[in-house]
């Protein structure tokens, strides 16, 4: 059985990433089998509960208000709308709903109370509930936990060095702090990143070093291939090659043996053969549903056909960790503190982010 290590070096990880492919696949598949059932894949459905208009400048993101993209913004969904979508997801084989909001951070108030009610409602449907709402404080993480949240997604996105080339409105250390706040509760951590943003292999390895250093390591790690959206600073990036994706998945599997590795954004570009290689290399989770947050994803029926073809079974909910108990709002132990989160705003200039912002201004 391979051990969980928190002291991987970038060089060791790069050596793994660049192994001859057959050796890399064999090693990853061996470790995968030691820690997981290779024929089970966890299925999550994404739901954008609040779309667009985000104040941050993440260079990959179509939801940043400052860029000119075609997405349709929406106010926060109602609890009833979310419940209807969750039931649909459940009937199509998903064990988890991941609710995303285009927020920099959670703010105490009626909208957060509404999100807490969504968490309670989905947990009562016996599905795992995940949220990705931007930065959270410890008190907010505790309120989410109390409502029955199973996982919180907050990605490192890239290496600490390359992160500065993509986002200028908040620092890498703020991401670590949010993850730390989530860790103070019994909510599991989902944190990964994106490849194909122009980073070097060293940055991919650097991101994995940062993820492996976390103790405990994240229970799930999404590996996204950049979806290059028109109007964003990264609109001209070349699509990620399947070989890079397979190498990234395999390396992630080797250095994070117990984690569920999720094949995330970018699957519409991948063939079934390519995805099968990723599953062989240790991916054991996907986002299902015809939409990610704002961009397309493969059709659920096609995914289920692929599962059948490959002999894969969707994972049942609460296999890795018990279902949390939901505490009703009126019995809550935690009061909103109305905290103003402190975050470091490096505010350095990223040339391509500035250009995309100016282009958007000119188009308005
Ligand atoms: N606003 C929250 C935040 O940033 O934490 C939650 C939503 S945000 C869209 C969640 C993650 O989606 C980002 O951290 C990023 O890794 C991923 N993502 C966003 N746009 C993407 C794109 N165009 N291609 C691939 N991944 C993307
Ligand atoms: C993650 O790592 N990928 C998901 C989820 N966590 C929130 C989001 C992918 C978004 C892709 C671009 C879009 O659809 O807007
Ligand atoms: Fe906002 Fe999240 Fe998009 Fe960044 S990734 S612009 S924080 S929605």
Q: Taking a C-beta distance cutoff of 8 angstroms, is the pair 98, 110 a contact? A: no
At 155 the pLDDT is 98
Specify the residue for token string 């790069």. Answer: 14
C-alpha to C-alpha distance for 174 and 322, rounded to whole angstroms: 29
Q: Which of 59, 227, 264 to mutate to test the pocket of ligand 2 (most atoms within 8 A of CB)?
A: 264
Mean pLDDT of 63-77: 94
Centroid of ligand 1 to alpha carbon of 192 (angstroms): 10
**345 pLDDT tier (thresholds 50, 70, 90):** confident
β-sheet bridge partners, residue 221: 261
Q: Which pLDDT tens digit goes with each residue over 268-300?
A: 999 999 999 999 999 999 999 889 999 999 999
Residue 135 token pair: 């930065």
**168 pLDDT tier (thresholds 50, 70, 90):** very high
Centroid of ligand 3 to alpha carbon of 79 (angstroms): 22
C-alpha to C-alpha distance for 189 and 130, rounded to whole angstroms: 9
Q: Which pLDDT tens digit goes with each residue over 292-332?
A: 999 999 999 999 999 999 999 999 999 999 999 999 999 99
Specify the residue for token string 């969750």. Answer: 86
Centroid of ligand 1 to alpha carbon of 219 (angstroms): 18
Q: Which pLDDT tens digit goes with each residue over 146-155?
A: 999 999 999 9
Question: Is 130 known to be catalytic?
Answer: yes
Q: Taking a C-beta distance cutoff of 8 angstroms, is the pair 115, 136 a contact? A: no
At 2 the pLDDT is 78
pTM score, whole prediction: 0.98
**136 pLDDT tier (thresholds 50, 70, 90):** very high
- The fold of the 20-319+339-363 domain, in CATH, is TIM Barrel (3.20.20)
The whole-chain average pLDDT of the chain stands at 96
């Amino acid at each position: 059985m391979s051990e969980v290590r928190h002291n991987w070096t970038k060089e060791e990880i790069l050596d793994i990433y660049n192994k001859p492919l057959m050796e890399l696949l064999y090693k990853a598949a061996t470790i995968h089998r030691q820690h997981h059932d290779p024929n089970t894949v966890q299925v999550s459905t994404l739901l954008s509960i609040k779309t667009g208009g985000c104040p941050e400048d993440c260079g990959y993101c179509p939801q940043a208000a400052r860029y000119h993209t075609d997405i349709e913004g929406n106010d926060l969904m109602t609890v009833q709308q979310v419940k209807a979508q969750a039931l649909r997801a459940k009937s199509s084989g998903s064990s988890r709903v991941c609710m995303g909001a285009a927020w920099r951070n959670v703010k105490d108030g009626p909208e957060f109370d509404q999100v807490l009610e969504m968490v309670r409602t989905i947990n009562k449907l016996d599905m795992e509930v995940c949220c990705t709402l931007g930065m959270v404080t410890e008190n907010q993480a505790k309120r989410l936990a109390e409502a029955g949240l199973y996982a919180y997604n907050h990605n490192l996105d890239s290496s600490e060095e390359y992160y500065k080339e993509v986002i200028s409105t908040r620092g890498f250390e703020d991401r670590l702090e949010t993850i730390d706040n989530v860790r103070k509760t019994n909510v599991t951590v989902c944190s990964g990143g994106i490849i194909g943003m122009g980073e070097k292999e060293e940055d991919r390895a650097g991101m994995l070093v940062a993820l492996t250093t976390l103790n405990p390591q994240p229970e799930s790690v999404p590996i996204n291939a950049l979806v290059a959206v028109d109007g964003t600073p990264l609109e001209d990036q070349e699509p990620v090659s399947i070989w890079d994706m397979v190498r990234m998945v395999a390396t992630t599997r080797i250095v994070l043996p117990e984690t569920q590795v999720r094949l995330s954004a970018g699957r519409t570009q991948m063939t079934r053969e390519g995805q099968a290689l990723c599953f062989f290399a240790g991916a054991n989770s996907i986002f299902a549903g015809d939409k990610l947050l704002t961009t397309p994803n493969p059709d659920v029926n096609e995914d289920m056909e692929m599962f059948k073809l490959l002999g894969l079974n969707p994972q049942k909910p609460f296999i890795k960790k018990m279902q949390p108990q939901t505490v009703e709002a009126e019995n809550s132990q935690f009061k909103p503190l109305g905290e103003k989160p402190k975050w470091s705003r490096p505010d350095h200039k990223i040339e391509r982010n500035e250009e995309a912002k100016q282009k958007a201004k000119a188009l308005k």
